[in-house]
Amino acid sequence: MAASPCSSACKRVSSPHRVWGAQNMMKSFQGLAFAVALALFATHSGTAKAVPMLIVENGELLGADNVDVNGTLFDVRFRDGTCSAIFSGCDNPSEDFAFADANSAKAAAQALLDQVFLDGPAGLFDSNPELTLGCSASELCLANIPYAQSVPGKFEFVSARNLPDLVEPPFEFENTGDSDFDFSDNGFAVFAVFTSAGPSVAVPEPASLALFSFGLAGFIFARRGRSQRAT
C-alpha cells in the first residue's frame, strides 16, 4: 500500500508537539512536588506550642488556660475555701484530683511558676503575690495542688510557692491538710484547680504558613501561564 503523501510531514509537525506536551507535563509534576514539599515543611518544621492565656479580672489573677504540664494542656482556676467544698468531698483522689502523685503535682506547680505567676502586660503577678485570687499577703502566695488522701479527713498536696524574693525551694512536698480547713482564713494560700484541656498540639507558625501560601500561589501562576501559552 502506498504511503500517505502527508505522513512524513505530519510526523515532522506532530513530533515537536508531543515533546512539548511531555515537557509541560513534567514541569507540572515538578511544580506539584514543590508545593507538597512546602506543605510538609510548613506543618512539620514550622510549629509552635499553644501559649498560656492568663485569666485576669479587674487586675486580679483568677487562673489561666492552656497551661502545659508534661505535654498536656490544662485550664487552671484559683479558688478559696476548703478541700471538701472545692474537690467534691476531697475523699476520692482518682476522681477528685487532676494529679495522682507528688511528681505530677510538682510538675503542675512548676508550670504555674513558669507560665502563670509572671510579670507582664496583664499584671505583675510574680512581683506582687497579693494580685492572685485568694492571696492578700504581699510576701507570699501558696497555690495548693492536692494529689492524694493520706487518711480519712486529710489530704496530701504540693504548693507552688510564689515569693517575690525566692530564697527557699519553690515546692513544699508531703504537705498534709485537713479536708475541712478553710484556706481563705490565712490570706496567703489558695487552691489551684486543674481541668484537662487536651494534649499539647503544635500549630503552624505564621512564617511557615506564609511560605507555603507563596509556594502554592507560584505553582498556580505557573500553571495558568502554561495554559495560556497552550491556547
The model's pTM is 0.67
Clarify whether residues 61 and 120 are in a common domain.
yes
Clarify whether residues 154 and 100 are in a common domain.
yes
In angstroms, the CA 150 to CA 163 distance is: 28
Q: What is the pLDDT of residue 36?
A: 45
Residue 6 domain-assigned (yes or no): no
Q: At what angle do helices 7-44 and 206-230 cross, to 10 degrees?
A: 170
Among 113-122, 146-155, 207-216, where is mean pLDDT lowest? Answer: 207-216
Instruction: Give the H or E element holding residue 189.
Output: strand 189-199
Could you read off the pLDDT of 199-227 as tens digits, one per residue? 655 555 455 455 445 555 554 545 555 55
Number of domains in the chain: 2
Distance, CA of 97 to chain centre: 22
The terminus-to-terminus CA distance of the chain in angstroms comes to 37
Say if residue 57's pLDDT is above 60.
yes
Strand partners, 199: 72
Residues near 40 by beta carbon (within 8 Å), at least 6 away in sequence: none
Clarify whether residues 107 and 161 are in a common domain.
yes
Could you read off the pLDDT of 157-188 as tens digits, one per residue? 999 999 877 666 677 767 899 999 999 888 99
DSSP state of 45: T
Clarify whether residues 196 and 223 are in a common domain.
no
Strand partners, 86: none
